[in-house]
Amino acid sequence: MGTSLGNAAFMMEGRLALAADGDAEALYQLGVAYSTGSGVDMDLIEAHKWFNLAALNGSLLAQQSRAEISGEMTAREIAEAQRQARSWLSGTTARRAA
């Protein structure tokens, strides 16, 4: 069991690194992971954030997935996910400029 948790953490780290570079597929995969609880705790706010970021980078699947999970979220949860997405964008833009 420890090995599968280690593999999941390794995969998440790799996706996060690619996501920081704006990789739409990695951003989408992070959304899937959080929307399904695959390798991480299920978290619709996190999932929405990642789907939103993937959609901004051109992923049509992320647009569809974001719309689907939005139906299961409150307006406050969606607003929080959007705030987190903006924060992520600000942070990654600052890191790339440095």
Q: What is the pLDDT of residues 24-62, one digit of tens each?
A: 999 999 999 999 998 899 999 999 999 999 999 999 999
SS3 breakdown of the chain: % helix, strand, coil, rounded to 5?
Answer: 80, 0, 20
Q: Which of 6, 19, 13, 18 is nearest to 84 (CA)?
A: 19
SS3 at position 64: helix
Whole-model pTM: value is 0.84
Residue 80 pLDDT > 50: yes
| pLDDT given at position 8 | 64
Check if the beta carbon of residue 37 is closer than 8 Å to that of residue 12: no
State the total domains in the chain.
1
Q: State the residue range of the domain holding 36.
A: 2-97
Check if the beta carbon of residue 23 is closer than 8 Å to that of residue 56: no
